[in-house]
Amino acid sequence: MVNSSLSKRLLRNGAALLAIITLGSSVNIPLTAPATVTANASTKAVPEQTSKSWKSYKHQIHFVKKGYKVYQNKWHAVSSSNKLFHKAYKANGKYKLSNGRTYYRLYNAKKNYLGYVNANAVATSTTSKVMKVPYVSQYKPVFAPWGCAAASMTMLLRYRGNKVDLRYAQNHLPMVPTKGGQKGNVYTGVGFGHVITAAALTKYSHHWTKQTANISKSSANTIKMYVQGGYPVLFYGYSSYQKNGDKKRNHCKVIVGYKNGKFKVNDPLYYSSTAKAGTGGKNMKYDHGAISWETMANFKKEYGKQAITIY
């Protein structure tokens, strides 16, 4: 038989236990989700306090912009757009937060939950992007008919705020016998054989910034993703002076935008940014003016698998 003192203690402990159980049923205790969970409609691991609206959003996306974090569980960072750069995921919903930012909820192909990411870090196949890349002519103010590489490089560098003296850039462009150097004078064309390679031009650009990168051998679709992410791309293709049968890609141009299946291209081989089609070398396959829109199909035919971007 239990004595009266022990009985009282048991009653007190039982009451306390009942109070804890009752309290627990009315408190939403946050749980930590695993790194990957099976996709379901109720998975919304983003701070409820800051969410303004939730909408279904079903699209395949690619990570195209560096510098963003991927979050789970009350803004706990689990990855980054740097690690996932150009990788594909599926979005099935989006939050618009009270601060105006939009976040997509992402899963991989196996329907495993990845997390949430700022919408600015990703793009769909149709996302448009046009950048204000300053046009640089290889004719004016510095007359260098064979200086497309330095002129195009200058566009990239100035876009990121680097101060580049164009004449200095032309005068010091690496030449043969430097590895990958240009063969032929940029001003007179004497001895011209080929332009500087993308690898050598990237190395040369590092005199101004380390933000440039040689992305040669990238596919046309990868080039598109760079552009959608806000990274202009210098590529090697043909010029308006191209002769029939000549397959050498000896001309540099800069992609500054993407929209509706077309690239916006800055071609330095004109006197000004307002130069129209037909005012260059008269090969109308490529004499499209200083700034033009080129279809992806035509780009694929022209692109010589040499390219540079700037982050």
Query: Is 10 domain-assigned?
Result: no
- Same domain? For 163 and 289 the reply is yes
CATH of the domain at 158: 3.90.70.10
109 and 166 housed in the same domain:
no
**176 within a domain of the structure (yes/no):** yes
Question: Per residue in 286-310, pLDDT tens?
Answer: 999 999 999 999 999 999 999 999 9
Whether 82 is in a domain gets the answer yes
**Does 151 share its domain with 54?**
no
Task: Report how far residue 222's alpha carbon sits from residue 229's, in angstroms, rounded to the nearest whole number.
Answer: 11
Domain's final residue, options 123, 156, 177: 123
- Residue 180 pLDDT more than 60? yes
30 in a domain, yes or no?
no
Q: What is the pLDDT of residue 195?
A: 99
Contact criterion met (CB below 8 Å) for 114 and 144 = no
d(CA 234, CA 180): 16
Q: Is 15 exposed, middle or buried (0-12, 13-18, 19+ CB in 10 A)?
A: exposed
Nearest-angstrom CA–CA distance, 90 and 114: 10
Last residue of a domain, one of 74, 92, 123: 123
> How many structural domains compose the chain?
2
Whether the CB-CB separation of 105 and 92 falls below 8 Å is answered with: yes
Decide: 182 and 194 in contact? Cβ < 8 Å: yes
For 86-111, how does the pLDDT look when each residue is reduced to its tens digit (9 = 90+)?
999 999 999 999 889 999 999 999 99
In a domain, 23, yes or no: no
Tokens encoding 159: 């876009």
∠ CA 102-107-112, nearest 5°, is: 145
Same domain for 223 and 88: no
Distance between CA atoms of 59 and 36, rounded to whole angstroms? 20
Same domain (yes/no): 118, 135: no
Query: CATH number of the domain that 75 lies in?
Result: 2.30.30
Q: Which of 101, 123, 145 is the last residue in one of the domains?
A: 123
Q: Which of 157, 184, 178, 179 is nearest to 169 (CA)?
A: 157
- Domain of residue 189, residue span: 129-310
Determine, yes or no, domain membership for 38: no
Residues 65 and 171 in one domain: no
281 in the same domain as 264: yes
Over residues 20-37, the pLDDT tens digits come to: 334 343 333 233 333 333
Mean pLDDT of 35-64: 64
Answer yes or no: do 305 and 168 share one domain: yes
Q: What is the pLDDT of residue 74?
A: 84
Classify residue 22: in a domain, yes or no. no
User: Does pLDDT of 176 surpass 80?
Assistant: yes
Q: What's the mean pLDDT in 66-78? A: 95
Is 266 inside a domain boundary?
yes
Domain check: are 216 and 71 in the same one?
Answer: no
Closest by CA to 127, choosing from 230, 235, 213, is: 230
> Which of 149, 130, 165 has its CA nearest to residue 250?
149
